[in-house]
Amino acid sequence: MSDVEGLADSAGGLQRRAARGALWTLVHVVVSLPLAFAVNLVVARHLGVVDFGRLALFSLAVELATLVGSAGASQALIQFGAKAHAAGREGEVVGLIRGIQGYYLLVQFPLLLLTTTVVARAADLPAAAWAWVAVFGVLLPTATATGAACLGIENRADRGARLALAGSILASIASVAVVVLGGSAVVLWATRLVISGLLPVVALALAKPAYRRAALSPAGPWRLPRRVWRFVLPTAVATVVGGLVSTRSELLVLQWLGTPQAAGLFALSFGLAGHLAAPAQALVGPLVPAVAALREVSETDAARALGRTLRVAAVFGGATLAVGLPLLGVLVPLLYGAEYAAAAPLFVLLASGAALSGVTGILYAFVQARLAGRAVLAASVVALVVDVVLAVALVPLLEQWGAALALVSAATVQLALLAVGERRATGLARGDILGPLLPLVAAMPVGAGAWWLGTLAGPVWLGAAGGAILGLGAWVLLVRSCRRGLVDGDARPLVEAVPSPLRPALAWGADVVTVRRPPRRQG
């Protein structure tokens, strides 16, 4: 076999494993999403609008601390580790894991410990509960923090997805138990933190033995190669800045300039939007290490994968919006109660922003695979400036609507800047990046219109079901009439990855939105 043929086989294997990882991530989402939705419903009704907002603030504090503590390092481990693993340089991967694990212990651990201590004291968490949080929610997950990345480096996202599924089920059971026992928002926060802290331990146990030993023998991060630090520093700033745009940080402005009720409504709408966008965003997790490895073995296949991934994500995300906006939007007042009724139209807007963020994640994966941290940083800084300026200006006037408008505007700006930058860097035509996004963009007004019509129906359930059917039908007609959907072969990796009994249904669904076929070769 020639070197070229070997690279082609390697690229094909990487894409197949990425498809399998995406499939298992979708299975995780499909199974855990309804469960998480039901648990979120129980929690929201139990806590009420104000305490539900407090729970969101507690969770946001840990999210931001984790983001700052791992920024740049986690991306470096995935990017450099996946490339080295794909090229067979195991010793290089081991050195990276040891250095990054040391970074987590020196930087992330004290930051997380400080953050959780402040939250626990401010919310009067009992001392015994705080001890559990410190050990199982902070120390243990930090000491094994490279476990999930090891699975990604090996391009075994399917294992990670199965582990995440088990963790979601366990967290849901624990959350319901806390609610049944009458627990407060801070007790629920502590319980979820402890449960999530167990996942990195199991992930590390599933990793390759050499990589597991490396994670358990951390080294000083100053031993990492200079080229890694040149990537880490700008990426760290970009990740923190970008995270402030995408992690409901508008809650901080609402807490400062708005009301507790507005914060609770925004938190619920943001959570529902995240549930709706989760299936499409499931593509991003397995994609990051896969693209990094793919660029190492075949730049041509990586460029082709960008268009294919954008088309699949836009079609899948568009279908989800067309159905989910009317279905969930109409049901919000019935499911959550009258005090949450104002969250329904807010959810319609935030779901569109969440869908755009999913595409941003895909572009982010491809930009990072080029190790172009500065491009990500520039897009993130501009988006954050837009977010902060609009939030500060609009929240005093519009409260939760001001926060939502700021978030969606920032997400749009970030997506546009990354798309333009990637197009210029790769030499692709404008239509090769922006054209595939039409199914997603079209789904936003279609889904919003179907939601509005659904609210006019008599019985709520009839309006929700009718709006979902109308939204999907109108969206499919629009996609086919504009001839912007999947190209033949786009869905093949996913179809081949699913069990045989499911393949006909998935293939039929893909065929419905396959509207453009590549030209046949002559000769």
pLDDT of residue 7: 37
Residue 301 domain flag:
yes
Specify the 3-state DSSP secondary structure of 123.
coil
Residue 120 domain flag:
yes
pLDDT at position 257 over 70: yes
Looking at mean pLDDT, say which of 63-67, 106-110, 124-128, 362-366 comes out highest.
106-110
Instruction: Give residue 344's pLDDT band: very low, low, confident or very high (50, 70, 90).
Output: very high
Residue 288 domain flag:
yes
pLDDT of residue 522: 41
Cβ pair 454, 326 in contact under 8 A? yes
Q: How far apart are the first and last CA of the chain?
A: 27
What mean pLDDT comes out for the span 440-463? 92
Give the contacts of 475 (CB within 8 A, at least 6 positions apart). 318, 319, 322, 439, 442, 443, 446, 447
Least confident of 15-29, 75-89, 175-189, 215-229: 15-29
Instruction: Give residue 409's pLDDT band: very low, low, confident or very high (50, 70, 90).
Output: very high
> What Å distances lie between residue 327 and 268, 322, 471, CA to CA?
16, 9, 9
Least confident of 196-200, 363-367, 455-459: 363-367
Which structural domain, as residue segments, surrounds residue 419? 3-514
Residue 521 domain flag:
no
* Alpha-helix runs per DSSP H in 219-283: 226-246, 250-257, 260-281
Specify the 3-state DSSP secondary structure of 184.
coil
pLDDT at position 389 over 80: yes
Residue 522 domain flag:
no
pLDDT at position 290 over 60: no
Q: How far, in Å, CA of 275 to CA of 347, rounded? A: 11
pLDDT at position 6 over 80: no
Query: Smallest Cα–Cα separation from 313: which of 155, 440, 421?
Result: 440
**Domains: count for the chain:** 1
pTM for the predicted model, two decimal places: 0.80
Residue 317 domain flag:
yes
Residue 519 domain flag:
no
pLDDT at position 411 over 50: yes
Over the stretch 176-232, which tens digit does the pLDDT of each residue have?
999 889 889 999 999 999 999 999 999 999 889 999 999 999 999 998 998 898 888
Instruction: Give residue 345's pLDDT band: very low, low, confident or very high (50, 70, 90).
Output: very high
Residue 520 domain flag:
no
